[in-house]
Amino acid sequence: MLRVGHLILLSVGTQLPFDRLVRTVDDWAIAAGRTDVVAQVGPSTYAPRSLKAFPFLAPEAFRELQLNATIMISHAGMGSILTALEYGKPIIIMPRDHLRGEHRNGHQKATAERFKAVPGIYVASDEHGLVEHLTRLTELTGSQRLPPHAPASFTDQLRDFILRP
């Protein structure tokens, strides 16, 4: 359960801006009086007014924020989703919309659709849905932690498949 004053981490990846996501979280943080949101905003053109925002963070610093975050908010990027599952953190994801020029294709919408029933992953299809999840932060829970590596039985089968003549 999220308590006021705990770290909320917003991440949009590093390749493309996602101003719609950053602006929505920033507006919510201002309205809710939240000062506990740290954001990695990539090459954004939007300048957050409330978030502690950084275009890019060193991988070690970003991993530390992910580890210490109480909740994560992200685009529907697999790296963010898998990290949240690995750490057992609740994550709100909002997919980029390629029809708005936020990505090259619609794969993030497909990713969000695939993960919407997974415990600990909260999908927001648009800004309204994102704000609905943000207003319920205290109710959001993470998933059971995933191991950081695949089980040996899986990697053994994969190795056998690859090496098969």
pLDDT tens digits, 76-133: 888 899 999 999 999 999 997 655 555 565 567 778 888 888 999 999 989 999 999 9
- Domain range enclosing 134: 8-163
| End-to-end Cα, the chain, rounded Å | 51
pLDDT value, residue 117: 87
Q: Considering the domain boundaries, does residue 127 fall inside one?
A: yes
Q: What is the mean pLDDT of residues 143-151?
A: 73
Q: pLDDT by residue (tens digit) across 61-81? A: 999 999 999 999 998 888 899
Tell me, yes or no, whether 59 lies in a domain. yes
Supply the CATH number for residue 123's domain.
3.40.50.2000
Please indicate, yes or no, if residue 81 is contained in any of the structural domains: yes
Q: Is residue 34 part of a domain?
A: yes
Let me know if residue 1 belongs to a domain: no
Higher pLDDT, 153 or 26: 26
Q: Which of 73, 80, 16, 67 has the alpha carbon at shortest distance from 45?
A: 16
Q: How many domains does the chain have?
A: 1
Q: Enter the tokens of residue 114.
A: 């695939």
- CA 46 to chain centroid, in Å, comes to 19
Q: What is the pTM of this model?
A: 0.82
Tokens found for residue 115: 């993960």
Q: Would residue 123 count as lying in a domain?
A: yes
